[in-house]
Every structure is written in C-alpha cells, then in structure tokens.
Amino acid sequence: MDTLFSYRNMKLPKTIERLPELAYNLWFSWNDDAKELFAMISRELWDQFLHNPVRLLAETHPDVWEPLSKDTAFLKQYGKVFRQWDEYSHADTWFEKTFPEHRQQQFAYFSAEFGFHESLPIYSGGLGVLAGDHCKSASDLGLPLVGIGLLYKKGYFNQKINKEGRQLSEAVRYDFSKLPLLPAFNGQDEWLTVQLQLADRTVQLRIWQVLVGRVSVYLLDADVEENSPWDRELTAQLYGGDQDTRIAQEMLLGMGGVKVLRALNVPTAVYHINEGHAAFQAYERIREQLEAGVPFHVAVEIIRASSVFTTHTPVPAGHDAFPLHLTDYYLSPLLTRWAEHKEGLIGLGLDEGKQLFNMTHLALNTSALRNGVSKLHGEVSREMFRSIHGHIQTNEVPISHITNGVHMNSWLAHELKELYGRFLPGTWLTNQTNHDLWRQVELIPAESLWETHTRLKEKLIGYARSNLREHRRRNDMPAHLVEEVGGYLSGKALTIGFARRFATYKRATLLFKDLDRLDRLVNDPDRPVQFMFAGKAHPADQPGQDMLRDIYLVSRMERFRGKIVLLENYDMNMARYLVQGVDVWLNNPLRPYEASGTSGQKAAMNGVINLSVLDGWWDEAYEGTNGWRIEGDFSADPQAQERENTDSVYRLLEQEVIPLYYNQGPLPAQWVDRMKRSIMTLAPVYNTHRMVMDYTHSSYMPTLNRTLSFLADRNELAVKVADYKSFMKANWHFVKFLEINDGSGERALNPAGTVKELGQPLKEVTATIKFGPVWYMDTAVELIYYEEQEGHWQPVVVTMSPVKEIDNRVMKYRAMIPSHLRHGAHFSARIRPVSPNFATSFELPLITTL
C-alpha cells in the first residue's frame, strides 16, 4: 500500500505540492490549462507517456522539482489551474439549482467499459467513450452519480499493422500504480474488497476508484492472490475470452457492482444499466430483497421500479445470450438457495424462442424505463423487442429514446474554444445547450474560422505522418520509404476522415468499390481529395480485419500512395486529431445498424462537415443545410443498398462537396458558411450536457421518485403493484369480447350526425365485454385503425367509454370512428390493463384483441 501511494504522497516543494491531487482526478483531461501545466514539466515525457500525469510525476527526475517550484511561468500556470479547480469543485451546479430538494440518493451507472482518456485505456470504442463522456457531464452538471465498471489489466489491445496489412493484436499489461486511479477504502481505512459467489467458488474482488471531477467511478479487479489463475484472468481483457469468461465477467460487473455500492454505503435509488452487460445487477438486488423476507414478485417490482436500461445496438449479435446450462452453472449459488424461485429468476432473461438466456431480455424485464440512443434506434428497438410485449403496436412498445451526445470540453479543439470565446457570450461553455447563444457563430469572421481550421488540419497531418513513419520503422522498411512519408498528405487538399470500429456493417471499404472513380478524385491536379482511415477490428472479427487489410493494400498502390492513408492504433488521442482536423467526416453504415454514432458529433462541433447515411443520430440531425446525406433505398437488400450508397457518395463528392470546397480560392466562403451552419445547428443539441439533462428529467428523477414511493411504508405500493399484476396475470383469461357492432349505412351516423373536421362522417361502434373477476375500471378498451399522415400509415387509437352494465361483470362500451371503417377489415379492438402506478402505459403486456 505504501508503494502504491508513493506518487500521490510524494514530497514536492510546497509551492507545487498539489500536483498529485490534480494528476489523480481526470478533470485534468478536459481542462486545457491543466494539460498545459503538466506538459510544462516535460513536453517530451508528457507525449511519451500518453498524457498520463501520474506516470509523469512518477518518472520525472527528483532534481526537476526544486527549480520548477521557482519558475515564474510554471507557478503562474499552477496558480491559474488550481483556482479553476477550486472554483469548479465548490460551484453551485445545474442539478443543485434544478432539484434543490434532492441531495441524498445516488444514481448508479453500470458500464462494461469507460473511455475517459488515453491515459486510462480500459475502453474499446464508442460505448466506453460515451460512458466516459456521460460521467464527465454528470460531474459538470453536479449529478449525484457513481459509476461501476471493471478494471482490465490488459485493457483492450494495441493495434499493430504488419507489412502485409494484417492487424496484430498486441497484448499489454498495465501497472496500475502509474495510472490515474486509486484504491477505494472501507470504513477502517483499508483497501476495499468484496466477495462474489461464482458457480462453485468464491471470487475475491479488489476495488479501485477513479475520480472524474465530482464523480467517482469504482472498478472491480479480480487479479488478487486469493483467486485461482483462471479467476484472476476474469478482469484481464475487455471483451476477451470465451462465453464462460464473458458470463463470469458480467456477473462480476452486475452482481459484484451492487456489492461494492453496499460496501461503500452508497444510498442508491437509481440503477442505470448501460447496455445489457450489467443486467445481472437485478439478481443481486432481488437476492437482497428475498433475504429481507420480501416476496419474490414484490422484489421484482422494487428492482424494476428503480432500474433504467439503455440499449446500444440494433445488431442481434451485440446482445449477449448464453446457453441455459451455462447460466444454471454460474448462477447455481443463487438458484440453489432460492430453488422455489428458479423458474421465475431464469424466466426474467429467457428467450423462449431460442432457449437461450439473453442479457437484453433480463435488462428489459427488470427495468421500468428503457431507451435507445437515437430516435431511429428507438424505433428499431421497439420493433426488435415487440415480441416480448404482447399484441401491441410497435410504436407502443415501452422503449423510448435519448439521443447520444459528446462531452464538448473533451472534444472541442483548444483553438476553437479560444475563437468561440471571443464571439460567443462568456457563459457559452456552461450553457452549451442554448440554441440562441450558438447563433452568434455567425459573427465569427470567415477568415478567422478558416485560419483556425487550417491550423488544426496541419496539426493532424503532422500527427498522421509521425504515425506512418513509426509504422514503417517498426516494420523495418527501407529508409527511403520511411522518409517519403514526409511528402504524404497536403494541407491544401480536401481531407476526408473515416475512423471507427471496423465492424462489417460500418462498411469501411465502401469507397473502394470503384477504384478508377476514386483514382480520378484523389489525383485531380486542380481539386485533389485525400482520405484518412483508422480503426480497430475485434481480434475475433476476421471479416473486419479483412476490410482493414483491404484499405491498407489500396493505400500502398502507386496511384493512391500518400493520398489514402491508414493510421494504426486508433485511440482517443488520435480521435481528437481526426475529428478536429479533417474537412469532412464520412460515415456510411448499412442502415439501420448504427444505433447512434458519436464521432460525427465530435467532428461537427469542430466545424467538420458530415457526409453520412441517414442512420443513427444523423437521421434526426440532418436538415439539408448542415451537411450531406448519402442516399439509397433503405428497404432494399444489403447488396442493392451498397451499390446505391456507393454511387451516392461519389455523386455527392463530384457534384457538391468538391466544387463547394474549391469554388472560391484561398477562402472558400460558401464552405465556411456550411461549417457555421453545422456548428450552430448541431453543437447545442448533440452534447452530453443535453443528454444527461434528458436522462435526469425523463429517467433518473421519475425513477428516483417511483423508487422512494415503492419503498415507503414497508413497500406498501410495491406490494400493491405486484399483487395487482399477479391478479391480472391469473385472471386475464376471463376478459373476453362478446360482441362488436360497427353499424352500417345511414344507421352508422349518430343522432347529431357528427362529422369530423375534414368532412368525414362518423359512426358509433359498440362493444360488449365480459370481465369476470377483473374490475372494468382497471382496463382500457380501445379501437385501432390506420390513417395516412405525411405519406405514412399511422395507427389511430380511439378510447371506448363504458355505457352501462348489461349483466354481472358484462359491460357495454361505445366510441365514434369514421363511418367507412369495418371491423376486421379496417379496424380492430383491444382490452388492456391500466394502473396509475405503472411507469409506462404497456408495463403489463396483457392484451385481448378482436
């Protein structure tokens, strides 16, 4: 323990003694002045150590500190940074101002990966970076949020590309004592550990703490001596290993994570599951309730009421599913102890059709509020999971959407922050969701914006050349091939970037379907275009690796050399250079498999213009003037879509993008106008401040209030809801339509001859329903027909009103609908249970239709 803390407690001169405090809080990663302060210690080591201040302090020679403590420039920067840090730490926050009555309960945020900064490489891509940005905005906004994740001693992997263009996955092993994280302590000032029963043994977990501004994130580490060699490897690598490793990891994350919250005495009222990996948290919490004597069906309702679930992928393979025998084995301690509830427990995650245990099903069945990560993804998710919600319309499936965003202070170039700061109001960064404020981007002189962008492009090109040189040196290429990289890429050429995970649906090689047409673009002497590619393919994804190799081989062709480049070992540091420095951000996934995508959002706030398929966030963000859309028939088969999308990309480049970029000499005024339009329309919307505010208003606070009400008076409301659902499930089969009468001809008109506004005559429809033991007031009776709206057929739901009781538990209902509709052919009727205590209208998927 003393060794571990030697860097935090290192003896520094008094004038700079707070440096370790800053190094161990990732707030430095989104404060430009703090990063500059560390760079002033040694710019060479700062870059060499991937901007890791803990390692920088650890490996800087002791003789450096005394002169530095007397250096006027360094002390001035030191004072400036710590004034900012102290003001940040003690400032009133948005959450405190908006919800002053709530200061006690915490929101727990579970994620399999967190991408905070390149100095803490425990992320693989978009999901992790989104989680990191979520925590940063939660800190900025003052949310009482605590993160839960796993600490991977080998991270994801370092990517190397050999001479043939094949990806090599280089394993690494991190020295945690030189990363910006600390042991978490228990109440006795001892390193916190928790235990989790896993199959036939107990796994010991050591807990680490990452400080992210005001937010703490706790990471579980299984690499402790008490564990077996196999168990020690459970937190070795992100998304590594076989299904045994995967299910065990997810139990550590979900069930172990709850144990961490309990060991730390964190009063938690909201449990946010960021993708299905953490859904096992529900089982640990159900176990707690059962141990406390709460009936199983009530326990499930308590857990459901307090859980929020975000699904992130429309790709079926992205939803983890395990064989039932594997689930039985690893959950055996729970299933044996509570054998009478085994069927109910397994049923929460059971995919009956495939007879697999599906983590997304578990998350859906144990979360009252669920959301996708863009408007389109919400629609796709409702369709994907409609089958487990009874006979309801797709648009009624209780899955909403909260569109992803990015953390502006982390991704916006320092140079642009300075430029925006000169023309936007002084509060622009703290009030970044204010649309009116961003309209003042119009005031920025075109020359100033273009000059700033040009400098960022030059920085990117310098970075890219260094990356390519290192790749060639490492592969022992001849000296002249290493040196020729100095002539690669041009600061004057239109530069298009494509960087993301190399999954096949992202179609990284779409442009290469027509190499001759590509040749004409990049080698046009008057209007040249150049392309930068970067990204990792999962080590088990051979098709993704093949795409990467294809790009490499094309980049080595004589006609494309130096004009199409592939950069290796894509990480957050490289991503910043790319999204800040290219001119166009290219995104061409197979719709609708891009759930949201955030790289284009990072690019947009930096004035980079998006050229994208209308998928994910771009489907709702594109409005005709702030970028370009790649067209195609999204209902066609994938091959047809690929042909149409390819032609559309080339057509857009040839007829719109390239002419706009080159049309006005050294200052492309119309291009800059589109840059401004992109910034003004996209920056105030697609940021995590807006996103986290949305989660707070629509998910966290409703869940918090519902949780507290469920737990009040010895779970009185939870018992009421659970008993109500049990009663409805047991008795719903008694609810039946006895008759529907939709009238005909003139008799369809009501006595007053009611006519809709557009002149459509209405008629009366009656229904006779037998309810049995179910009280009719606990149901809704509705008619459903379809109406064309804006070129689409949309369902119209008409609520029927009870008219009279015909017989014991038999009721007559009536409603008015357009007179031309006939039952069966044009409209249907349904009955469903309702309750004011439901979180959503279709929380209980019991539907009777006719």
Indicate the average pLDDT of the chain: 94
- 76 and 106 both lie in a single domain: no
**Mind giving me the DSSP string for 282-338?**
HHHHHHHHHHTT--HHHHHHHHHHTEEEE-----GGGS-EEEHHHHHHHTHHHHHHT
Q: Kindly state whether residue 424 falls inside one of the protein's structural domains.
A: no
Q: Using the predicted structure, report yes or no on whether residue 751 has a pLDDT greater than 60.
A: no
User: Which of 341, 223, 354, 352 shows the shortest CA–CA distance to 282?
Assistant: 341
Which residues touch 803 (CB under 8 Å, ≥6 apart)? 766, 811, 812, 813, 814
What DSSP string runs through 708-753? HHHHHHHHHHHHHHHHHHHHHHHHGGG-EEEEEE---GGGGS-TT-
Q: What is the pLDDT of residue 155?
A: 83
86 and 103 assigned to the same domain:
no
Summarised one tens digit per residue, pLDDT across range 806-821 is: 999 999 999 999 999 9
711 is a domain residue: no
pLDDT tens by residue, 550-574: 999 999 999 999 999 999 999 999 9
Q: State pLDDT tens for residues 445-481.
A: 999 999 999 999 999 999 999 999 999 999 999 999 9
The CA-based angle 555-557-563, given to 5 degrees, is 45
Q: What percent of the chain has pLDDT over 90?
A: 89
Task: Say what the pLDDT of residue 664 is.
Answer: 76
Task: Give the least confident one: 5-14, 118-127, 644-653, 657-666.
Answer: 5-14
Name the residue among 312, 314, 288, 313 with its Cα closest to residue 302: 288
The pLDDT tens digits of the residues spanning 405-423 come to 999 999 999 999 999 999 9
Q: Is the pLDDT of residue 288 over 80?
A: yes
Question: Final residue of a domain: which of 382, 401, 420?
Answer: 401
Give the model confidence (pLDDT) of 178-229 as tens digits: 999 999 998 888 999 999 999 999 999 999 999 999 999 999 999 999 999 9
* Residue 47 shares a structural domain with residue 123: no
Overall average pLDDT of the 240-266 stretch: 96
Q: What is the pLDDT of residue 269?
A: 96
Distance CA 330, CA 215 (A): 32
Q: What is the pLDDT of residue 11?
A: 87
- 99 and 79 in a common domain: no
pTM for the predicted model, two decimal places: 0.95
Domain boundary pick from 686, 704, 722: 686
Show the tokens assigned to 125.
């891509």
Three-class secondary structure of residue 78 per DSSP: helix
Rounded to whole angstroms, how far apart are CA atoms 219 and 183? 9
User: Tokens 């036939």 belong to which residue?
Assistant: 200
Beta-sheet pairing, 801-807 with 792-799: unpaired
Query: Is there a contact between 150 and 253 (Cβ–Cβ < 8 Å)?
Result: yes
Question: Which pLDDT belongs to residue 745?
Answer: 41
Answer yes or no: do 71 and 208 share one domain.
no
Is residue 271 within 8 Å of 109, Cβ to Cβ? no
Same domain assignment for residues 639 and 577: yes
Q: How many domains does the chain have?
A: 4
Residue 489 within a domain: yes
Residue-wise pLDDT for 126-173, tens only, equals 899 999 999 999 999 999 999 999 999 988 889 999 999 999 998 888
Q: Is residue 325 part of a domain?
A: yes
Q: Decide if 379 contacts 316 (C-beta within 8 A).
A: no
Q: Which domain holds residue 217?
A: 94-162+177-401
- Give, to the nearest 10 degrees, the angle between helix 446-474 and helix 669-682: 90
Q: Are 82 and 104 in a shared domain?
A: no
Residue 614 within any structural domain of the chain:
yes
* One-letter amino acid of 187: G
- pLDDT category at 66 given cuts 50, 70, 90 is very high
Query: How far is the C-alpha of 177 from the C-alpha of 174, rounded, in Å?
Result: 9
* Residue 324 and residue 243 share a domain: yes
pLDDT band at residue 6, thresholds of 50, 70 and 90?
A: low
∠ CA(194), CA(195), CA(196), 5° rounding?
Answer: 130
pLDDT above 70 (res 5): no
Say if residue 790's pLDDT is above 90.
no
Sign of the C-alpha dihedral computed for residues 265, 271, 274 and 279 taken in this order: positive
Residue with tokens 């009040």: 712
Interaxial angle between packed helices 296-305 and 701-731, expressed in degrees from 0 to 180 and rounded to the nearest 10: 140
- On the question of pLDDT at 618 being above 60, the answer is yes
Average pLDDT over residues 229-245: 92
In a domain, 727, yes or no: no
Helix axes 126-141, 688-695, angle to 10 degrees: 80
> What residues contact 792, with CB distance under 8 A and at least 6 apart?
none
CATH code of the domain in which 569 resides = 3.40.50.2000
Tokens of 42: 């040694």
Residue 8's pLDDT is 57
Among 199, 197, 203, residue whose Cα is nearest residue 221: 203
Residues 381 and 481 in one domain: no
CB 583 within 8 A of CB 531: no
Question: CA 173 to CA 164: how far, in whole Å?
Answer: 26
pLDDT in tens, 390-407: 888 899 999 999 999 999
718 located within any domain: no
Summarize pLDDT for 479-498 with one digit per residue, the tens. Answer: 999 999 999 999 999 999 99
State the pLDDT confidence band at 752, using cuts at 50, 70 and 90: very low
Give yes or no for residue 759 having a pLDDT over 90: no
Residue 666: pLDDT above 90?
A: no
In this structure, is residue 26 part of a structural domain? Answer: no
- Statement to judge: residues 380 and 513 lie in one domain: no
Verify that 806 and 665 share a domain, yes or no: no
pLDDT value, residue 762: 93
pLDDT reported for residue 299: 98
Q: 352, 386, 401: which is the final residue of a domain?
A: 401
State the CB neighbour count (10 A cutoff) for residue 158: 16
- Do 158 and 70 share a domain, yes or no? no
